[in-house]
Every structure is written in C-alpha cells, then in structure tokens.
Amino acid sequence: MIAGKKMLTKKQKAGRFLIRWEMLLMYLLIVLNLVLLIMRPDLYLKPGTLASMIQSGLNICPMVLGMSLIMMMGDVDVSCTANMVVCAYATGKLMEGGIPPAIAVPAGLAACIVLGAVNGFLVAYMGMPAVITTIATSLLYRGMVRVALGTNVLRVFPDFYSTVMWEEAAGIPVCMILYLLMAAVFVVILHKSRYGRALYMIGNNATTAEYSGMNVRKIKMITFMIMGFMSGLASIFYIGRLGGGAQSATGNGEEMTVIAITALGGVSAAGGSGGIYGPVIATFIMAVLKYSLSLLGMDDNGRKIFIGIILIVAVIVTSTERGIIDDLKENMRKKRQARYKN
C-alpha cells in the first residue's frame, strides 16, 4: 500500500511537472521549430541556421533577466533600453578618447547602475509609480544622449562585443552560453536566497512584507540597480549584434519586447508569481518567431504588431494560469482520492 502511494505520488509530481507553464513554453518552442522545419527544410537543416536563429533573438537577453526581478515585485522598468544607450554612449566616447576597454566598459556599466539607482530612489523612496517614473527617465536618459551625440554614430567599441554575438564555441553561439550562465546565477538569486524570497513577498503584498520586518525600499532600490546593470550588459550584446555602431535611437522600442518576453515567460504583471526558467525559454521562442517572421517577409512594423499581440495574450494567460493549474491539480487530487477509496 505504501509502495502504491509512493508510486502514485511520483505520478502526481510528473503530472504537475508536465502542465507547468515552463513546460507549456517548451512544447510551444518545439512546435515552432517543427513548423519551420516542415516549411523550410532546406533552410532549417542548413549549417549555421540554428546559430543565426539564436543570435537574432539574444541581443536583449540580459534585460529579460533584470526585468524578471522587477516584474516579480509588481513593477516595470520602461527605461531599460534608454539605460542601455547611455552605457553604449559612455563606453564609446571613452574609447574614442583613447581610454582602454578595461576602463571604458566598467565605466559604462557603472553609469547604468547609477541610472538604475535613480529609478529605484524615485520609486522606492519617493513613492512614485514605476511605470510613470521609468517612462519619464527613459525620455530623460535618451534625450541626454541625443543632445550629446546628435546625429553622429559611435563606432569605436571593444572587439569582444562582436565576438559575444557572432562567434561560436564548439558549434554553440557564445551569446547563448553567456545567457545560460547569467540565467543560472539569477536562478540562484531568485530561488535560493533570502533576497529572492523577499521579491515574491513584496510582489504578493508589499505592505505585509514591510510589517514582517523587510526593508522593502532597500530591496526595491537594489532591484532597480540590478536592472540598470543588466541594461549595461545588454549594450554589449546589442552593439555586438549591430556590428559596433551606436546612436541615440539605438534599441528604441525594444523595451516592449523585453516586457513581452518576460510576461510570456510566466512572470505575472501583478507581481509575486513566476521564475527565471520561463523567461529564458520565452527568449528563445521570441528568437524563433523573429527569425520565422523575417523569412515570411514581415517588416519591422508587422513584427511590432505581432509582439504587441503576444504581450496582451501573455498577460491574459499568466493572470488566469494559476486558476487553470489549480483546477487541474484539484482534479488530480480527486482522482487520487477515488483510487484510494477503491
């Protein structure tokens, strides 16, 4: 009887695992690849196609990880791509002035951390809504770069920027390896640390978290600073993808893609729900979609419309996912009880 219960428990765990949102995303990713394989087998099986597909969608991947933490608190950072441009500008101008990459790159990243701290201070300590705040700072940050740079294009960047996005190691794109390594770090941060548990509590109820002794303001400040740092790292991927050129309009509108990927990955817009695995899988789903839509001849505006639809659907689905999963679990529990009675 005990053995039967253990066997049933294992089946129950397997059933729950197979209906998790992350697994549903994996099914979708597999289906998209199969569809592309069936439609264009000559292209899909061509050497280098999979690498190109991955590289086409990972230029914003660090910001997805940072946005996952922000949205976990129930907030959002619309200024992430503007932060990225500031980092690119700072790094590019320093290198144009003869400063070596060992100093220019950390300086650009430091600038992004400071800008993230500004967002965090306004949201956490001034009590301003995150959406309005980051829209305002996005206009401010990108406007400063536009005034300083004008219509000029920065072209002096470290050589390793292109290596990150275009080179492969043992047939695997370097950008994918780096993304998975960063994701592993974020998994530990979110799921294995007190800070990660605090994010879930703040997202579910910030007032309760405050009364339980958590320094909610400090945690929010730190989270926005992490978002700033990840935006800076994204400049390496993004500029590398572009081949080493940056201007004030670089990445304009990509913040919506970042938010769409994070929401599609199962991070609730209301906060307190989600993880890192989902957004990572969603990043590759978006990469396949972008590549496939390009093959179908869809222009940039069409892809933006498609991403907007994905964002709406993702928000609706993630907001109802808990209820669906709970219903499935309840049905499984009733079936288990029925088997025990028999």
Domain at 146, CATH number:
1.10.3470
Categorise residue 265: left if φ over 0, alpha if ψ from -120 to 50, beta otherwise.
alpha
Residues in the chain with pLDDT values less than 50: 1-8
User: For residue 69, what are the contacts with CB-CB under 8 A and spacing of at least 6?
Assistant: 186, 189, 190, 199, 223, 226, 227
Q: What is the pLDDT of residue 163?
A: 92
Which residue is associated with the tokens 């690498």?
51
Overall domain count for the chain: 1
Domain extent, residue 189, equals: 59-277+298-330
- Residue 180: inside a domain: yes
Q: Looking at the domain assignment, is residue 39 inside a domain?
A: no
pTM of the model: 0.86
Q: Is residue 5 part of a domain?
A: no
342 within some domain: no
Q: Are strands 172-173 and 168-169 parallel, antiparallel or unpaired?
A: antiparallel
Is 166 among the domain residues?
A: yes
Angle made by CA atoms 31, 37, 38, in degrees to the nearest 5: 90
Contacts of 212 (CB under 8 A, 6+ apart): 201
Question: How many CA within 13 A on the CB side of residue 149?
Answer: 26
Predicted confidence at residue 28, as pLDDT, reads: 85
pLDDT for 335 equals 63
Q: What's the CA gap between 115 and 119, in Å, rounded?
A: 6
Q: Are 2 and 10 in contact (CB under 8 A)?
A: no
What does the pLDDT read at residue 47? 83
194 within some domain: yes
In a domain, 335, yes or no: no
Other C-beta atoms lying within 10 Å of the C-beta of residue 249: 13
Other residues' Cβ atoms within 10 Å of the Cβ of residue 189: 16
Q: Is the dihedral of CA 252, 263, 78, 82 positive or negative?
A: negative
The secondary structure of 250-268 as a DSSP string is: TTTTHHHHHHHHHHHTT--
Distance CA 242, CA 165 (A): 9
pLDDT of residue 110: 96
In a domain? residue 14: no
pLDDT of 325: 52
Q: What is the model's pLDDT at position 221?
A: 96
Question: CA torsion angle for 159, 163, 166, 171 (degrees, to 10)?
Answer: 160
User: Which pLDDT belongs to residue 2?
Assistant: 45
Backbone φ and ψ of 246, nearest 5°: -145, 140
For position 56, what pLDDT does the model report? 83
Give pLDDT tens digits for 66-95. 999 999 999 999 999 999 999 999 999 999
